[in-house]
A and B are shown apart, each in its own frame.
Chain A
Amino acid sequence: AQTVTQSQPEMSVQEAETVTLSCTYDTSESDYYLFWYKQPPSRQMILVIRQEAYKQQNATENRFSVNFQKAAKSFSLKISDSQLGDAAMYFCAYRGYNNNDMRFGAGTRLTVKP
């Protein structure tokens, strides 16, 4: 079974600085998708960024980028120029190419200090 591990329960960053959230996963599949979701205090799940495993190029969305290392099964999220509104729980998620269910990590709570 696929598992997703986020080893950092909590992280903090100074406003305008850069922070990296770690995620590793375990799978025997070769094709799959990886996601980072943000969950602010409102509890709504918001997609931050996604990566297709067959793409070697790391995904980027404005201040958010990933470091996808397929061989190491690692998928970290980098947030540049952190803003107060980035404070939230961040969940890493895995989804197999032919599957419908997503497997989530336990989450990392990010605090942004002014």
Chain B
Amino acid sequence: EPEVTQTPSHQVTQMGQEVILRCVPISNHLYFYWYRQILGQKVEFLVSFYNNEISEKSEIFDDQFSVERPDGSNFTLKIRSTKLEDSAMYFCASGSLRAGGNEQFFGPGTRLTVL
């Protein structure tokens, strides 16, 4: 069964460093998403991406964040200058055109630790 994959599973970085979190969505999906979950808190929407552009973003998704689909298979989230409060689990999700993008399949997450 196809699944969303994410790398790395755990990333440790120093405050102020740039990080890139990688996701490989399910191959025939056209809608892509990033969510984050700070430890012990609810899952929060960051951004959605369709047709090579951001379709929606939350107030969390400020200028420090960017997303890209560099090669038609990967979907990346970049944090330019990490802050301590960026420490969280980051989930990538994808959805199919057939379902209108309504059903989202989540990856296993990347745990980001900012020191």
Chain A residues in the interface with B (C-beta under 8 A): 33, 37, 42-47, 50, 91, 93, 95, 99-107
Shortest CB–CB separation between residue B44 and chain A, in angstroms? 7
The binding surface of chain B is classed by DSSP as: strand
Give the contact-size bracket for chain B. 20 to 34
Contact A103 B105 (CB under 8 A): no
Chain B residues in the interface with A (C-beta under 8 A): 31, 33, 35, 37, 41-45, 48, 50, 55-56, 58, 89, 91, 93, 101-109, 111
Q: Knowing A43-B108, A44-B106, A44-B109, say if A100 contacts B42 (CB, 8 Å).
A: no
**Inside 8 A of A102's CB, which chain B residues have their CB?**
35, 43, 45, 104
Q: Give the interface centre of A37, A42, A100 by most chain B CB atoms within 10 Å.
A: A100
Contact B48 A101 (CB under 8 A): yes
